[in-house]
Amino acid sequence: MQPNTNFTQHQPPPPPYSYGMQPTAPPPYTEVNSGHQLSQAMPSALVHQPGPVSTPGVPTNVIINQPPPVAVQRTIVQTSAVTLGKAPASLTCLSCQRLITTEVARSLKVDAWICCILLCLCGCELCFWIPFVMDSNYITSHSCPACHAHLGTSM
């Protein structure tokens, strides 16, 4: 790799930070505490407002006016997990917000058909019906009877 020859001229260093700036000192302590207002160049939040004169050695009570507290209303939504099993369950529908008892629809898993075919291939043709009566081979779907929303599935 060859060095870059385009920048062969030496550039002067940048000016120091104080270049073109006049240092300004803060106002003296006596000017700030004398009770007089500061110049108009100062922001209004920093202008000293004359207040009550306190006597040294005597405690001074300071009263600060605060806005009244704001009442905050909190809404707590408590949901409990309902276990959906093979039987209909009583719960609040998440879609229509009604208290309902779920409608149950059962459908056969693919596993039952595979077991049926394997039983037939193994010579147990008379036992083909066993996978169809086992509860573990069914999927139970729960839905709302009012809005027909799907609420969950149990296997």
If you write DSSP's letter for every residue of 11-78 in order, what string do you get?
A: PPPPPPTTTT----PPPPHHHHHTS----TTS-GGGSPPP-PPPPTTS--------PPPPP-------
Examine residue 108 and state whether it is found in any structural domain, yes or no: yes
Q: Is residue 123 part of a domain?
A: yes
User: Cβ contacts of residue 48 below 8 Å, gap of 6+?
Assistant: 32, 33, 35, 36, 37, 38
pLDDT at 1 over 70: no
- Of 42-51, 69-78, 106-115, 139-148, the poorest mean pLDDT is in 42-51
Least confident of 22-26, 95-99, 139-143, 145-149: 22-26
Q: Is residue 140 part of a domain?
A: yes
pLDDT in tens, 39-83: 444 555 555 555 556 666 666 666 677 777 777 777 766 555 677
CA–CA distance, 121 with 20 (Å, rounded to integer): 98
Written as six digits, the tokens of 134 are 């086992």
Strands 138-143 and 103-108: antiparallel
- What is the value of pTM for the model shown? 0.44
Give the total number of structural domains in the chain.
Answer: 1
| In a domain? residue 74 | no
Q: What residues make up the domain containing 98?
A: 90-154
* Residue 135 is assigned to a structural domain of this protein: yes
Q: How far apart are CA 97 and CA 128, in angstroms?
A: 44
The reply to whether 99 falls in a domain is yes
75: in domain: no
User: 21 in a domain, yes or no?
Assistant: no
Contact by Cβ (8 Å): 142, 102 = yes
Whole-number average pLDDT of the chain: 75
